[in-house]
Amino acid sequence: MVVGIVVLAINLRAPIIAPTAVLSDIQDDTGLSAAGVGLLTGLPVLLFALVTPVAGKIIGRFGAEAAVLSCLTGVLLGTVLRSVGPPWLVLVGTGIIGFAITLGNIAVPVIIRREVPWSQVSMVTGLYSATMNVGSMLTLLGTGPLAAAFGWRWAIAIWGAMAMIGLAYWLFAIRLRVRRNAIVAASAETPPAPQPTPVRRPWREAPPEFRAIIALLVVTFSGQSIAYYTTTTWLPSILADTGGLSATASGGTASLFQVAAILGAFGVPLLAARTKPWVPVAIIAALWLSLPVGLLLAPNSYVLWAITGGIAQGGGFTAIFSIIARTAGSDRETASASARVQGGGYLAATLAPPFAGWLGNVTDGWTAPILLILAATLAFTIAGLLAVRISGRFRGGGPANRREVLDG
């Protein structure tokens, strides 16, 4: 299952990232307007926010494995349509990809909660987060040369091969599990004892501590998403305008923000295993704050702030979804909680970059957009520390026992 999560993670970001390396080629060939080209990256994120509640209900009804297969099938179908069709079909394919990835985004925390021992939740979540970043980096590095050799359509279509690999692997894993379960049932000397039916209570009947944790994580992930997507969108422009860097230099520095996320994704589990639960969140919060504060007070050290901010964005994702996996009491509860957190966060991610650009135009500078990032990181800090504090007390009050009862 861990290998399956890794294979799935590659498919959860690469299809969105691939067009960004060849946007000008796509626009020249299809005649899409600037707004239409922007939808190639903006539409999936918008769908993350809008479709997340539906995805949570789908997973609660049909199960995480069905959602994974639907996700990979949708990514493959959308990639093909986006690569071969006229402009309107390019956008339709992009929409299918966004819907499909939303299913995968919600399914992964459910699978981690169910399959991974409690002590390893943070490590597997970090592996999942790091794989998404590695997949994004490889896609950015590979799409340009492929487009130069074969054209943009083949360059973004070829990443559909990862979805095919993922489908083959997950079909094999699911079939293997069904076969093993059948063998165990057939070889049992006595019929297995009936298992308690999981309690499928509505969200309003979830423990108040758990609902408080999820409400705080909605704010935490919103702060994380605002800071991440605003920085991803505008950091090259900020560096070019305030530091006088060339397009190549500013883009290279901004790429450090993406690459450094791998350190954060693995750093949080290592810290969590050796320290109190609040320590990794506090360190990640400090690193997040260093990015806007550093750009305001010491802009010449932009390389350092890009790296510290990158570590923070990778670690923040791991910390947030590790808390969900550790505190939820059932698959249905995990899917519902993850849907709420991701729905709020990705809605903020959709609105924040354009708002930051508007602030820059109105104020004729980058100070106001950087202050927006600072406000987002402060929200991450306050809400995240409160969430991890409550989750520590909540687990101490017996969620482990609650999980055993719910899961049988």
Q: Quote the percentage of the chain above a pLDDT of 90.
A: 35
Higher pLDDT, 223 or 181: 223
Higher pLDDT, 301 or 332: 301
Q: Which helix or strand (DSSP H or E) is residue 364 part of?
A: none
Range among 69-78, 193-202, 330-339 with highest mean pLDDT value: 69-78
Tell me the per-residue pLDDT of 126-140, one tens digit each, with 9 for 90 and over: 888 888 888 887 887
Determine the Cα–Cα distance for residues 134 and 132; give it in Å rounded to an integer.
6
Query: Backbone phi, then psi, for 387, in 5-degree steps?
Result: -65, -45
Tell me the per-residue pLDDT of 14-30, one tens digit each, with 9 for 90 and over: 888 888 778 778 888 88
| CA Rg value for the chain | 21
- Confidence band (pLDDT; 50, 70, 90) for 404? very low
Q: Say whether pLDDT at 407 is over 60.
A: no
Q: Decide: 405 and 340 in contact? Cβ < 8 Å.
A: no
- Confidence band (pLDDT; 50, 70, 90) for 41? confident
CA dihedral 372, 375, 380, 385 (to 10 degrees): 170
- Confidence band (pLDDT; 50, 70, 90) for 181? confident
Q: b/e per residue, 214-242, with b = 16+ CB within 10 A?
A: bbbbbbbbbbbbbbbbbbbbbbbbbbbeb
Q: Say whether pLDDT at 398 is over 50.
A: no
Determine the Cα–Cα distance for residues 143 and 238; give it in Å rounded to an integer.
25
Which amino acid would we find at residue 229? Y
Q: Say whether pLDDT at 285 is over 90.
A: yes
Residue from 54, 97, 51, 95 nearest 73 by CA: 97
Give the list of residues 6+ apart from residue 281 with CB closer than 8 angstroms, or none.
Answer: 319, 384, 385, 388
pLDDT of residue 297: 94
Q: Say whether pLDDT at 206 is over 80.
A: no
Helix (H, G, I), strand (E, B) or coil at 145: helix
Determine the Cα–Cα distance for residues 263 and 317; give it in Å rounded to an integer.
12
The model's pTM is: 0.80
Q: Give the pLDDT mean for 143-168.
A: 91
Q: Say whether pLDDT at 399 is over 50.
A: no
Q: Say whether pLDDT at 221 is over 70.
A: yes
pLDDT of residue 126: 87
Give the list of residues 6+ apart from residue 166 with CB closer than 8 angstroms, or none.
Answer: 4, 7, 8, 10, 11, 72
Query: DSSP character for 85?
Result: S
Q: Which helix or strand (DSSP H or E) is residue 8 part of?
A: helix 2-10
Q: Which helix or strand (DSSP H or E) is residue 13 part of?
A: none
Give the list of residues 6+ apart from residue 147 with CB closer than 8 angstroms, or none.
Answer: 21, 22, 25, 154, 155
| Residue-averaged pLDDT of the chain | 85
Percentage helix, strand, coil for the chain under 3-state DSSP, each rounded to 5: 90, 0, 10
Tell me the per-residue pLDDT of 223-269, one tens digit each, with 9 for 90 and over: 999 999 888 878 888 888 877 777 667 767 777 888 888 888 888 88
Q: Say whether pLDDT at 92 is over 80.
A: yes
- Confidence band (pLDDT; 50, 70, 90) for 295? very high
DSSP states along 296-322? HH-GGGHHHHHHHHHHHHHHHHHHHHH
Distances in whole angstroms, Cα of residue 248 to Cα of each of 237, 369, 376: 11, 22, 28
Q: Say whether pLDDT at 400 is over 50.
A: no
pLDDT of residue 157: 92
Q: Say whether pLDDT at 165 is over 90.
A: yes
Q: Does the CA dihedral 374-378-380-381 come out positive or negative? A: positive
pLDDT of residue 306: 92
Which amino acid would we find at residue 88? W
Higher pLDDT, 193 or 161: 161
Distances in whole angstroms, Cα of residue 168 to Cα of each of 16, 79, 106, 172, 264: 22, 17, 21, 6, 31
Range among 29-38, 66-75, 268-277, 328-337 with highest mean pLDDT value: 66-75
Q: Say whether pLDDT at 270 is over 70.
A: yes
pLDDT of residue 382: 96
Residue from 269, 29, 72 nearest 159 by CA: 72
Of the candidate ranges 95-104, 153-162, 267-276, 294-303, the one whose mean pLDDT is the lowest: 267-276
Distances in whole angstroms, Cα of residue 304 to Cα of each of 244, 290, 318, 361, 368: 17, 9, 22, 27, 21
Determine the Cα–Cα distance for residues 72 and 74; give it in Å rounded to an integer.
5
Of the candidate ranges 2-6, 74-78, 82-86, 188-192, the one whose mean pLDDT is the lowest: 188-192
Task: Write down all domains in the chain, each with its CATH number in brackets.
Answer: 1-193 (1.20.1250.20), 202-408 (1.20.1250.20)
pLDDT of residue 182: 80
Determine the Cα–Cα distance for residues 190 and 129; give it in Å rounded to an integer.
43
Q: Say whether pLDDT at 184 is over 80.
A: no
Determine the Cα–Cα distance for residues 98 and 42; give it in Å rounded to an integer.
10
pLDDT of residue 8: 94
Q: Quote the percentage of the chain above a pLDDT of 70.
A: 91
Tokens of 209: 């501590």
Q: Decide: 71 and 180 in contact? Cβ < 8 Å.
A: no
Q: Give the pLDDT mean for 77-93.
A: 91
- Confidence band (pLDDT; 50, 70, 90) for 408? very low
pLDDT of residue 203: 60
